[in-house]
Structure 1
Amino acid sequence: DRALARGGRAAAAAFLERAVELTTDPATRAGRALAAAEARFAAGAIAKAAQLLDTAEIGPLDPAQLAQVQRLRARLAFALNTGRSVVPPLLEAAGRLERLDDGLSRATYLAAIAAAINAGRLGGDDLRRAALAGRGAPRGEDAVGRLLTGLSTWVLDGHAASVSLLADAVEEIGMETDLELAWLSSAVTHEIWDSGAYFGRSEDLLSHARASGRLSLLAAALSFRATALIHAGRFEEAATILDEADTLGAMVGVEPHPASAVILAAYRGREEEATAVIDAALGYARSSGVGWNLGVAAYSRAVLSNGLGRYREALAAAQEAIEFEDLAVMQWALTELVEAAARSGADDVAAAGRDRLVARTSVVDSPWARGTAAYADALTDTSGESEKHYRTAIDELTSAGMTLYAARAQLLLGEWLRRENRRTEGRQQLQAAHELFASIGAEAFAERAARELAATGGVARTRTRGAEVDLTAQEAQIARLAAAGRTNPEIGAVLFLSPRTVEWHLRKIFTKLDISSRRELAAALRDQ
């Protein structure tokens, strides 16, 4: 108990295992073996936890203990294989648990839906079957019950019907008490377009997984945080976290989820390296039965191709990505599809993609949703309001903390201005986009911006990274928000910084730009 109180789960498990060895009473021995298995699982020792469950099952076990054993078996199976093969045993365990413990039954149905989501297009009818079974389970108003209801609705009734339910579920889940649900709720934040929850929960999940010693959950926490950092334009931090995930995977014997590494490689834009990573992810997806990664790989190929300016290839990849409605991936891929289709002259495809994307954003009122809708509207506009839509996209996506997409919207605005023969204005936008892409390491998009900049008669300024005249990605984001009239508390709320930290960053920004007030920010940024 003292070891658990200090977060020492591995030490607690060792004490419990010793207690098992010293216990002669069969019932007491079985109960202690079950407790030790729980502790070993939390500490990331999957194989050892399975051995201890074997000991616990020798029994005798009362019905409640039997329910715990069945639930832990399901959790172990999911940790080792999140693909299609684990869905049937999870559904079977959930059905048995209905007769023993409603709460454990709902949690196991939720795990079955999560596994079916991961199986994706390789799972056949598994996702629908799991959702139907989950909907038929006794309803619960706790965090598990609400998330089960929300995801069952998402599968069976569609995105629009599920948004409010999923938002309620995410709000209900607390990191302290529902840590095992937090990784799933992090993915759900994409469906509800809640960037605050996305960035905040990914950070909190990682902090709590580390502080609690839950190594069985740390790998997922690292992966989700890395993806958030990529979208925030913090590539170096994301790479560091992915290195940690690799080390952890080797230590606990569970392969790290490859999705974040694939997305990062695509955005870095080094073609040969990214293609190899994407191809490896495809192999992993097929061998493991995790079809969700097929969607991620196709989406990542679309990102890479859009960055390289190969729009027909990007369109083909994006169309492949949206063949199945993968959680979170669908909305990413639709954005790539609209851009690729618009740039390759497939206007009808672009318009259809825009309609699908706007249908998903129109049921949510958030900066991320509004910015994404404006992004698609700008690319497909036929009413003469493209510029307004582009500027809205830049402002809203910056406000949402989606630095990467905001920079892409700025690149698109610069390209549009050049084609409208407004070269001076286009040059300003393209220069700013180029410098941000170059500073964060998005090499293909930086090259695309440089080519467009050259077409305006400009020259891409390549500054030494880290030089005093450069704004970091975070400083550029703070500067844009301040130039848009946001107060320090408002900026802090968007970027999860204290107002005092925002003020500190602004002083550095003023020094670098050689200005003395916020009133000068907009002009200084245009001149960069």
Structure 2
Amino acid sequence: MPDIAPLRGRRDELAQLHTLVDRARAGRSGALVVSGEAGIGKTALLDHLTAQAAPHVRTERIVASQSEMELAYAGLQQLCGHMVGSAARLPAPQQEAIEVALGLCSAPAPSPFLVGLALLGVLTEAAEDRGLLCVVDDAQWLDQASARALAFVARRLDAEGIALVLAMREADEAFARLTPMRIEGLGHEDACELLRLAVPGGLDRRVRDQLIAETRGNPLALRELPRALSPAQIAGGFSLTGSLPLESRIEQSLVVQLAPLPEPARLLLLLAAAEPTGDPGLLWRASAVLGLGPAAFDAAKDADAFTVGTRVGFRHPLVRSAVYRAASPSDRRRVHAALADVTSAEYDPDRRAWHRAGATLEPDEDVAADLERSAVRARTRGGAAAAGAFLERAAELTPSPFRRGQRLIAAAEAKHDVGAPTEALRLLESARALPLTPLQEALAARMRARAGYALRRDRSGVQNLLAAAQGLEGLDPVLARDTYIEALAAATYGGRLGDAEQVTAVAKAILAATPAAEETDRARDLILRGQALLATEGQEAALTTLRRAQRAFLEQAPDFLELHWMWFASRAAQDLWDPAGLRALAERQVELARSEGVVTVLPIALSLLMLVQLTQGDLDAAEASCDEIDIIKEVTGNPLPQYGRLLLAAYRGQAEAAERSAERIRADGRARGEGYALSAANFSEAVLYNGLGRFADAVACAWRELPYTHELNLAMRTLLELVEAAVHTGEYALAEQALEQLADVTRPVGTNYALGLLAMAEAQLRSGDESEDLFREAIKRLEQERISIWVGRCRLLYGEALNRQGRSTDAREQLRTAHKVLSACGVHGFAQRAADELKACGETLRVHARASAAQLTEQELNVARLAREGLTNREIGARLFISAHTVEYHLRKVFVKLGIKRRTELQSALAGLTLAASSP
């Protein structure tokens, strides 16, 4: 290994690295991405860092290998496989997740984010005593699953005492948001000194300056390229210009230096380059298979190419790649065959399968089947990307065209699951010319439709999904149902930006293909048929089936597909004006998604729960749900639009934030062809402007939804806002039209919620006793449902009507109650409307100034809210994707800032706090 002499020209970089380690020793964490071209000095910096940090902090260092990129969690195994004993102290779901990921136990595939959280826990335990430095060199070669887990940890580091340093050539997307350190070439003076040390006899000045210019001060190039120069070149300055990239020229120089070695020593180096784990026992056993003795080891070590100690290592990562790339294909196959022979089929079957594939030239079903089994194991461990690579290579080595097609389709599905639809379509194209069974043809069509829709959310996507679903009928009914739901969801959410006829076409196809409701009790069958009835025949026809579907989702233990589609049942509860059903379904889906670690489902479930919390007047809880959604989006990249933030800002009367958010959501909806986004923006702005008393603006937003109320959901809810705004602006014909359409979507349902809102809307257009009776009916129904915001808004409207009639005493009674309810909910625009109307009645309210939580950061407020609910530090950490140490750190700061000493005081301390930073 390189000696640890002082580095020239790297003072600032070393200072930044050592600051990171000093912070870890003090209990604070951080991550740094060190990037730069090959040979620029990243490894030398890491050598210095680890050597100087080792006496002060625990140090773990690995070098990722290109040949390991297709093995799920191979990098994680190297980094923390020996630490996994501490996982026993983690919550059970996290412990299971990391043990499954590392192949230590069998269980369903773990959520990648549970693996990331478990990794954070394991590293936190390792940092407990004196801090931890984790160094990953050549991180560009990390397998995707390990890279994702490390990126997750890096983004969540805070108060654990962990310093994480990742060195790579270019910071890829996974690490793009981490603190960067770009390493550039040495300055001229330092480069000259390095050349002087590398070429003791001295270089011609022109050669020296040309080398420095061509290498751009790259230290490895300056050290290695002169070794490949002839004496005439060194002395006379003949042209050095080459057409190869610098990295290739460095590798070429290294190969030239190793060329004089005896053939057995070169083969030994190739063997070490092909075996990335650095296991010396494995290297000795494989070398014996190839007949390589001690003389080969001695020659390789004398050439300063590699070292053999507790691990096998090269003096620079480029030596490994240079050796492997320079080898002939036949020699590569020889060393992979030897490594496959000595790799345990019991303890390391996937690496053995990969070596066997590397040793195989012609199709071989035995090797292909071995790779397919590895793909299954990779899937089980949550490594869909690895499964795709195994299956693609298995397809290449499959003799039977029928089996090859099957494996190509499976590989395409794995590629699609990791967000690579273009790669999926490429593999499916390769399968077109192969003889496929009817089921394989149907599966390929389904994958083409799903990948195509992921790339282009256009009309053809819905058509292709529908055709794929119909093709699966009679072949795989469960998958057919799932595909039908995808088609219906795509058509429904496309709405006005898609093709209205498509919703009907998909729904009719579903009704023709699925069993009648009385013939099934499966949740997914019922919700599929119920939604199809809703789209074609309306609420009344769908009511019984949809309510059975809701009960089935609540009472049955759902499989993965049903958990994924439970949100469709929640949407049905919204369309049926059923807040209790919506709450039960949303809470159930949130509970299941959390307990099973299905983080892909959780944001949608939380967004539905947020709607319930909002409707029932618990805006603090709704904001906490939005916070959790944002945290999940940050760590997963989930593209779910911020509908919740928009609605919160609207109800709170935050005009600037709501208008800005609505503009973004409209643009995003149009770009994605999602009409639901336009409903969300129009509805939210109508709520905002009604709350602020800007009724003309509310009309301008709400009337846009009149042609689309058949889409139900937020479009039909906008009718309430339109009635209120149009009455205030004197546009009674428009208000009557909106009322008529509202009656069409509420009377068939007949719930207290639906009929209460209908009565409230109609009361505004009637007069005298009829109006008063309708207001009282609405208040009674809404109070029975405990829908606080609408109770407050109804009393506000009733008070305003009474005041217009000159009944100021009766008006004040309604308005006081309205103000109290709306203020308690945090609906400040409507509360201010009530206060203004009271003032017009001759009564001035004493408005208590609300405390400010601006001194709390957003993360501190998140932690404080969950602690207030009684969650432990570990539970809070799991909810917020941070470590228990970080939770404790934030809670200490919360206590100091709020002037409290115990968790029991959080309830009163947080009451009425506002946080400016939490607005969208």
Give me the TM-score of the superposition, normalised by structure 1: 0.78
Which of 725, 739, 749 is equivalent to 1:354?
739
| 1:33 alignment partner AA | A
Which of 772, 781, 803 is equivalent to 1:396?
781
| 1:130 alignment partner AA | V
| 1:200 alignment partner AA | A
> Higher helix share goes to which structure?
1
- Secondary structure in 1 aligned to 2:419? helix
Q: Which deviates the most, 53-62 or 126-135? A: 53-62
- Secondary structure in 2 aligned to 1:384? helix
| 2:754 alignment partner AA | A
| 1:354 alignment partner AA | L
1:67·1:104 contact (CA, 8 Å) conserved in 2? no
Find the aligned partners of 1:296 and 1:16 in 2 and give their Cα distance.
51
Find the aligned partners of 1:205 and 1:297 in 2 and give their Cα distance.
26
Residue 333 (structure 1) aligns with: 718
Q: Which deviates the most, 452-461 or 66-75? A: 66-75
Structure 1 residues 64 and 453, CA, compared in 2 at 3 Å: closer, same or farther?
same
After superposition, give the CA deviation of every residue in 1:290-327 in whole Å (9 maximum; x if it has no partner).
11111111111111111121222212211112322334
Residue 313 (structure 1) aligns with: 697
Q: Does 1:148 align with 2:533?
A: no
Find the aligned partners of 1:62 and 1:18 in 2 and give their Cα distance.
32
Unmatched tracts of structure 1, length 5 or more: 468-507, 509-528
| 1:93 alignment partner AA | A
2:425·2:451 contact (CA, 8 Å) conserved in 1? no
2:109·2:379 contact (CA, 8 Å) conserved in 1? no
Deviation, 1:19, is 9.8
1:302·1:336 contact (CA, 8 Å) conserved in 2? yes
Q: Does 1:115 align with 2:486?
A: no
After superposition, give the CA deviation of every residue in 1:422-479 in whole Å (9 maximum; x if it has no partner).
2122112212222332333222112211111110111123235589xxxxxxxxxxxx
Unmatched tracts of structure 2, length 5 or more: 1-95, 101-105, 117-143, 146-347, 358-365, 385-412, 853-906, 908-920
2:421·2:452 contact (CA, 8 Å) conserved in 1? no
Find the aligned partners of 1:234 and 1:84 in 2 and give their Cα distance.
39
| 1:227 alignment partner AA | L
2:789·2:825 contact (CA, 8 Å) conserved in 1? no
2:514·2:529 contact (CA, 8 Å) conserved in 1? no
2:799·2:812 contact (CA, 8 Å) conserved in 1? yes
Deviation, 1:398, is 2.5
After superposition, give the CA deviation of every residue in 1:307-348 in whole Å (9 maximum; x if it has no partner).
121222212211112322334113311111221222222222
Structure 1 residues 381 and 37, CA, compared in 2 at 3 Å: closer, same or farther?
farther
Deviation, 1:280, is 0.9
| 1:296 alignment partner AA | A
2:763·2:772 contact (CA, 8 Å) conserved in 1? yes
Deviation, 1:97, is 1.5
Find the aligned partners of 1:180 and 1:72 in 2 and give their Cα distance.
18
Residue 455 (structure 1) aligns with: 840
Structure 1 residues 158 and 442, CA, compared in 2 at 3 Å: closer, same or farther?
same
Find the aligned partners of 1:241 and 1:310 in 2 and give their Cα distance.
29
1:269·1:443 contact (CA, 8 Å) conserved in 2? yes
2:699·2:725 contact (CA, 8 Å) conserved in 1? yes
Q: Does 1:289 align with 2:695?
A: no
Deviation, 1:161, is 2.4
Which of 505, 511, 514 is equivalent to 1:129?
505
Deviation, 1:113, is 0.6
| 1:95 alignment partner AA | Q
Residue 47 (structure 1) aligns with: 419
Alignment of 1:407-418 (within 5 A): 407-418=792-803
Q: Does 1:258 align with 2:650?
A: no
Residue 519 (structure 1) aligns with: none
Find the aligned partners of 1:19 and 1:74 in 2 and give their Cα distance.
35
- Secondary structure in 1 aligned to 2:769? coil
Structure 1 residues 330 and 310, CA, compared in 2 at 3 Å: closer, same or farther?
same
Find the aligned partners of 1:104 and 1:116 in 2 and give their Cα distance.
18
After superposition, give the CA deviation of every residue in 1:36-69 in whole Å (9 maximum; x if it has no partner).
5585599x97337997998899999987687677
Which of 163, 175, 194 is equivalent to 2:543?
163
Alignment of 1:180-219 (within 5 A): 180-219=564-603
Structure 1 residues 19 and 123, CA, compared in 2 at 3 Å: closer, same or farther?
farther
Residue 176 (structure 1) aligns with: 558
| 1:91 alignment partner AA | L
- Secondary structure in 2 aligned to 1:459? coil
2:586·2:608 contact (CA, 8 Å) conserved in 1? yes
Q: Which deviates the most, 114-123 or 27-36? A: 27-36
1:37·1:53 contact (CA, 8 Å) conserved in 2? no
Q: Which deviates the most, 349-358 or 454-463? A: 349-358
RMSD: 3.7
Deviation, 1:235, is 1.6
1:45·1:252 contact (CA, 8 Å) conserved in 2? no
Structure 1 residues 385 and 69, CA, compared in 2 at 3 Å: closer, same or farther?
same
Which of 263, 269, 272 is equivalent to 2:656?
272
2:691·2:829 contact (CA, 8 Å) conserved in 1? yes
- Secondary structure in 2 aligned to 1:238? helix
Find the aligned partners of 1:31 and 1:158 in 2 and give their Cα distance.
48
Which of 110, 116, 125 is equivalent to 1:8?
110
After superposition, give the CA deviation of every residue in 1:171-230 in whole Å (9 maximum; x if it has no partner).
222463321121111111012222211112112211211111111211211211122211
**Identity, % of aligned positions:** 31
Deviation, 1:283, is 0.8
2:702·2:718 contact (CA, 8 Å) conserved in 1? yes
Give me the TM-score of the superposition, normalised by structure 2: 0.46
Find the aligned partners of 1:133 and 1:17 in 2 and give their Cα distance.
44
What is the number of residues matched between the two proteins? 469
Q: Does 1:434 align with 2:822?
A: no
2:756·2:782 contact (CA, 8 Å) conserved in 1? yes
Find the aligned partners of 2:484 and 2:442 in 1 and give their Cα distance.
14
Residue 375 (structure 2) aligns with: 33
| 1:362 alignment partner AA | R
| 2:463 alignment partner AA | P
Question: Which has the higher relative contact order, 1 or 2, with Cα contacts under 8 A spaced 6 or more apart?
Answer: 1
2:724·2:764 contact (CA, 8 Å) conserved in 1? yes
Structure 1 residues 332 and 272, CA, compared in 2 at 3 Å: closer, same or farther?
same
Residue 762 (structure 2) aligns with: 377
| 1:427 alignment partner AA | R
- Secondary structure in 2 aligned to 1:460? coil
Residue 463 (structure 2) aligns with: 88
| 1:445 alignment partner AA | F
Find the aligned partners of 2:691 and 2:111 in 1 and give their Cα distance.
45
Find the aligned partners of 1:36 and 1:86 in 2 and give their Cα distance.
30
2:706·2:738 contact (CA, 8 Å) conserved in 1? no
Structure 1 residues 311 and 278, CA, compared in 2 at 3 Å: closer, same or farther?
same
| 1:352 alignment partner AA | Q
Find the aligned partners of 2:747 and 2:645 in 1 and give their Cα distance.
31
